[in-house]
Amino acid sequence: MYSPSYAKASRVEILNDDGFRSDGRKQYELREINIDFSLQGPADASVTFHHGLTQVLVSVLGPREAKTRSQAIHDRANINVEVNVAAFSTGERRKRSRGDKRLLELASTIKSTFEPVVQTHLYPRSQIDIFIQVIQQDGGLLPACLNGTTLVLAAAGIALFDFVCAVTGGVHSTSSLLDLNTLEENDVPHITVAVMPRTGRVTLVTTETRLHVDRFEEIFRLAIDACNILHHEMKAALQRRTCSLVATLGSGAKTDYTKDLDMDIL
């Protein structure tokens, strides 16, 4: 349990007497999010998701034919997730290999979260490959990966039962906090919650710290409300992208693909 005496002894002032956190936010205030759908490389869709100073690039390939028979599942698609972390993403210049245990656990958590959300039965004997590149970390890495993956799957036209929206929540002394940064995650007990806003189903609740059961319900409910706010922002970003695509098609502007197609026809 997090004790007040430990809070006072902390090297970092998590919450001052005026109710402001180390980055100037209030207790329940979320960090700014920025969503960029610019396509990267050969991917079918890409999203650069900024959540405060945390930044991840999520790309998806597929659904496409499984590379090997062992990867093909006769009645649904196989989802593969790979996570890489840039060596410069944190102050600690540490290069993590693909076999790093924490990266494998992160990829496994993302995969298990989305397997019941993606309508995999529509894509039998195929595979969906999700690649996540962590560019910058400042807390909330798992929620950023989950939110970015939701957006990139929707942008790729892959059928989903619902959005997945995620956020962290913690408790400092007797005060609940939402959307923790790195300093706060290192100093206070916290949980990560992911929900499907339309259905209200909870798809993930995880923690790596000890949180007193008396505080869990309050933080959980706050996280659910925060996820609904994130859902509104994520949905609006997708709608803006769709309107932009429709406007581009309606104006007769040609994409690089259609230009290449015209050259082939000529």
Q: How far apart are CA 263 and CA 249, in angstroms?
A: 19
Neighbours of 200 (CB within 10 A): 10
- What backbone torsions phi and psi does residue 45 show, to the nearest 5 degrees? -160, 150
Q: Which residues fall within 8 angstroms of residue 131, CB to CB, at 6 or more apart? A: 43, 58, 59, 60, 61, 82, 84
**What gap in Å lies between CA 237 and CA 50, rounded to an integer?**
13
- Looking at residue 211, its amino acid is L
For the four alpha carbons of 111, 46, 89 and 21, in that order, the dihedral sign comes to negative
Q: What is the pLDDT along the chain (266 residues), one digit of tens a residue?
A: 444 444 444 466 888 988 899 899 999 999 999 999 998 889 999 999 999 999 999 999 999 998 888 888 999 999 999 999 998 887 666 666 667 899 999 999 999 999 999 999 999 999 999 999 999 999 999 999 999 999 999 999 999 999 999 999 999 988 999 999 999 999 999 999 999 999 999 999 999 888 888 899 999 999 999 999 999 999 999 999 999 989 988 876 544 544 443 434 33
